Every structure is written in C-alpha cells, then in structure tokens.
Amino acid sequence: MRPVRASWKIIGLAGLAGVAATGVIVVRSGLVKKVSFPREILALSNVGAAVVYFVVQLAVLVIFVAAVGHAPAWKFLLILPVSFLSLYLFTSALAMVMSAVNVYLRDMKHLMEVVLQLWFWLTPVVYSYENSIAVHLHRHGLAILYFLNPITLIVLTFQRVFYVSTAVHSTVTGQILHILPTWSFSKFLYLNLILLGVGIVLFFVAEAIFGRLEGNFESEL
C-alpha cells in the first residue's frame, strides 16, 4: 500500500496541476487583458502549488514509513531527484499547453478530468508492472509503447525506492510475485535521464506553443 500511495500522489500532482491550470487563463481574464506580463506564469503557479502539496504529502508518507521501520532502497533514492524533475517538466508542459488551448476551446477542463481518469488506469498504480500489458508487449519487442506514457517510468522509480525489492511473497498462494521490472540501478538511472531529456524538450515546445497562442488571448477573452 505504501508504493500505491506514493504512485497516486504522482498522478495527483499531474492531475491537480493540469486541471487547475487548464482554466486559469480564462478565470484570470481580467488580469490577462489589463496587465502585461508572461502569461505562462499563471499556469506554472498552479504547478508550483501542486508541487508544494505533493512535497507535504510525501513528507507525511516518509514519516509514516520511518515510523513503521520500513527503510527505502537508499541507492535508488539517488534517482528520485531526476525522476521528480522529469515529473515537474512534463506537468508544466501540459499545464501551459492546456491553459492556452482552453482559451479557444472552453470545454478542455472537463476533457482533462476524463483524461486524468484514463491516465490513472494506464499507469501501474493499483496493478503491478508485471501484471500489465507491458510484459506482453516486451515479448514482441514493443515495450516502448507502454512507456510512451511518461508517468509510467516515474511511478516505477518511486515504487522501486519504496518497495526495496522487485518481488514479494504472497501470503495467499505462498508464491513469489514479481511486481516490478528487475532492472539494475544503472538502467533505472539511464532511463530516467532519457526521460529528463525528453521532458526538457517538451517543456520548450510547450513554451513555444503557448507563445504562439497567447497572441489572440485578449480578443478571445
């Protein structure tokens, strides 16, 4: 349950920031039309608020884990800053694009709420990675399709830190259940660095898209 809580907080960060930021330009239309300032700050402020909320929740989780005497995988803990930065960049990129698009298509906020639910079930949170479609895709050399969802690797990294082991002993069947990919520290780090690079590119692409769309904000609002 501990990794599930951490995983849900990751989805919650992306979802909370994404939904809140989607309508922020419209909600703050009076400010947008009267004051000249970088409008993307409005979307990024929602991401910042979600990050603070996430850090507080994570701190509570860490205290709980320490209280029950469960130590994380200290070595893999070193990858978390890279993974978290990737999460921030992807969330910021999503927030900027959706906030700009919502000025022209006002129903995007409702669509984001539906997408968030779908996003949750496409990410290994309530089910393990080894019980997902990723295993079947891997057998056909198509595992990369499963990782087109950038949150998947981030969730797996957090789970690897809190689970410590990639397998657990089932008290029901008495069998060993493989719940996480048996990747080495170097592979986790390598994949997270690639994800970070993609996140940086997407952030600047989102910034460019926002810049092109914000030119007509005043007339649309």
128 vs 119, 132, 146, 187, CA distance in Å? 15, 7, 13, 19
Task: Report how far residue 142's alpha carbon sits from residue 150's, in angstroms, rounded to the nearest whole number.
Answer: 16
Q: Looking at residue 169, what is its pLDDT?
A: 54
Instruction: Return the sign of the alpha-carbon dihedral for residues 45, 48, 54, 55.
Output: negative
Residues in the chain: 221
Amino acid identity, residue 220? E
Q: For the segment 153-200, what is each residue's pLDDT rounded down to a tens digit?
A: 888 888 888 776 665 555 555 556 667 777 888 999 999 999 999 999
> Among all chains, which residue has been given the structure tokens 């002993």?
169
Q: Are 72 and 162 in contact (CB under 8 A)?
A: yes
Average pLDDT estimate for 13-36: 72
**Which region among 7-11, 73-77, 118-122, 151-155 has the lowest average model confidence (pLDDT)?**
7-11
Q: Looking at residue 3, what is its pLDDT?
A: 46
The residue segments making up the domain with residue 40 are 2-220
Average pLDDT estimate for 201-217: 89
Q: What is the mean pLDDT of the chain?
A: 78
Q: Residue 212 is encoded by which pair of tokens?
A: 């092109």
Q: Residue 45 is encoded by which pair of tokens?
A: 């402020």
Its pTM stands at 0.82
Domains held by the chain: number: 1
Instruction: Return the sign of the alpha-carbon dihedral for residues 31, 51, 93, 117.
Output: negative
